Amino acid sequence: MIKQYKLRFYNFRLVVFLLAISFIGIHLVGTAADYLRTRQLLGVIIGVVFMLLLSLMDYSWLLNFQWIMYGFNIVMLLAVRFFGSSANGAARWVDLGFIRFQPTELSKIIIILFFAKFFMDHEDDLNTLKTLAQSAVLLVIPLMLIYVQPDMKNTITVVILFCILIYIAGLSYKIIGGAALIAIPLAIIFLSIVVQPDQKLIKEGYKAPIHDFVIEHPELGDITQEVLEDNGYTFLVIAYNINKTDPENQEKLNRLAAYAKDKGYRFYGLSASAADDIRKYTEANQVNYDYCSTDEIQLKTIVRSNPGLILLRQGTILDKWGHRDLPEVEELQNKDLASYCLQEQQAITDRYLIYSLIMLYIACIFLYIIRKYKRMIK
């Protein structure tokens, strides 16, 4: 079950690249909120530990339990169907109390292992109608359970994985060619019909979380259209949970609000918190702008930082900032805000390019040391 590895045969290169990508991702996530960085870092640590442990296991031993894995996969997907927690119109998660996980992600691994073993067992009769029909039926059952969640992305992913597996297993080119001759014309016909106006083939499905975005001012009422259609600039402070907002940034936000009012720009706060909580916060921190009510999911869709700041013009987001990188008033003085935002975005792009190059350089140095070490122990 456990592989006997010699150190020089271990794939350190893959581990280094994985860690480099992971830490860049952690840094990017951390610009939105500190608690997200901590959560992602914990996830990476746990993932790396499991990766190292599983890499020492002989996965072929698991293939002896292919039907148990397949049955467990079906039960797991059925649990999502009947007991899964819903969000934004989709039930894709199972809540175990101490953790929430998405079974579809584990399902993809199980499907790979199951069909790898299945095609190995049917190597000699892979291209027969019986084997192809069996594999199709075995695929359709978990595939439909994923599709009805609904989860189109992973449905397509599983189909692609299956096609790759059966191709590698040795599917006849005659069958591939015949399937292509049928599928390609049908796909062209279907797409030509779908793009036609007023077609009824596809029913109205999932709506984006911000399809009914509303800004409700406590005194002026619904000001959504005024804000989205304004030819001038509008600053919006996003604090979806006012009770979790870090007040140390409030002084900077107050200065920005004073600057915006002096320039004739709109400046509002948006929150999903109760009116009483908003009133207590604004009084305690001497907030000099009005807070409006907006749905929490919509606010999190816009920016995850709490608080965050976005700059709008005619309904288009020109730039957004997390609470850690709010701009200073001095940076905005005597500048065209649109040009300033473009320069800031280019600076951020350049910064992350430099980070990536540094991580790549460190990875190359590490790989060079490993190679030298392997040569020494030979």
pLDDT tens profile 214-259: 888 888 888 888 888 888 889 999 888 888 887 888 888 999 999 9
Q: How many domains does the chain have?
A: 2
Q: Is the pLDDT of residue 210 over 50?
A: no
pTM above threshold 0.75: no
Asked whether residue 241 falls in the same domain as residue 169, the answer is no
pLDDT-based confidence at residue 209 (cuts at 50, 70, 90): very low
Asked whether residue 188 falls in the same domain as residue 240, the answer is no
* 97 or 220, greater pLDDT: 220
CATH code of the domain in which 326 resides: 3.40.30.10
pLDDT-based confidence at residue 81 (cuts at 50, 70, 90): confident
Asked whether residue 233 falls in the same domain as residue 301, the answer is yes
> Which of 299, 317, 333 is a domain's end point?
333
What is residue 72's predicted lDDT score, i.e. its pLDDT? Answer: 92
- 353 found inside a domain: no
How many residues comprise the chain? Answer: 378
Q: Which residues of the chain form beta strands (DSSP E)?
A: 85-87, 90-95, 100-101, 216-217, 221-222, 233-238, 266-271, 290-293, 308-313, 316-321
Query: How crowded is the C-beta side of 33, counted as CA atoms within 13 Å?
Result: 18
Asked whether residue 222 falls in the same domain as residue 310, the answer is yes
Structure tokens at 66: 């292919």
| Tokens 């997200």 -> residue | 36
Q: Is the pLDDT of residue 120 over 80?
A: yes
- 85 found inside a domain: yes
What are the residues facing 29 on neighbouring strands? none
Weakest-pLDDT range from 27-31, 65-69, 296-300? 27-31
Asked whether residue 232 falls in the same domain as residue 178, the answer is no
Asked whether residue 250 falls in the same domain as residue 144, the answer is no
What residues contact 164, with CB distance under 8 A and at least 6 apart?
none
Asked whether residue 72 falls in the same domain as residue 154, the answer is yes
What residues contact 142, with CB distance under 8 A and at least 6 apart?
73, 74, 77, 107, 111, 158
Alpha-carbon span 38 to 324, nearest angstrom: 15
| Residue numbers of the domain that contains 223 | 216-333
Q: Is the pLDDT of residue 174 over 80?
A: yes
Asked whether residue 111 falls in the same domain as residue 73, the answer is yes
pLDDT-based confidence at residue 201 (cuts at 50, 70, 90): low
Asked whether residue 90 falls in the same domain as residue 135, the answer is yes
- 242 found inside a domain: yes
Asked whether residue 162 falls in the same domain as residue 275, the answer is no
> Which of 161, 194, 227 is a domain's end point?
194
Closest CA to 139 of 123, 128, 155, 122: 155
- The four Cα atoms 59, 65, 132, 122 give a dihedral, to 10 degrees, of 70
Q: Is the pLDDT of residue 104 over 70?
A: yes
- 305 found inside a domain: yes
> Which of 317, 333, 349 is a domain's end point?
333
Give the three-class secondary structure for 312: strand
Q: Is the pLDDT of residue 206 over 50?
A: no
Alpha-carbon span 150 to 81, nearest angstrom: 10
- 349 found inside a domain: no
Structure tokens at 206: 């999932």
**C-alpha angle with apex 366: 360 to 372, nearest 5 degrees?**
135
Average pLDDT, the chain: 80
Asked whether residue 188 falls in the same domain as residue 221, the answer is no
Asked whether residue 137 falls in the same domain as residue 82, the answer is yes
The DSSP call for residue 351 is H
Give the three-class secondary structure for 6: coil
Alpha-carbon span 22 to 48, nearest angstrom: 10
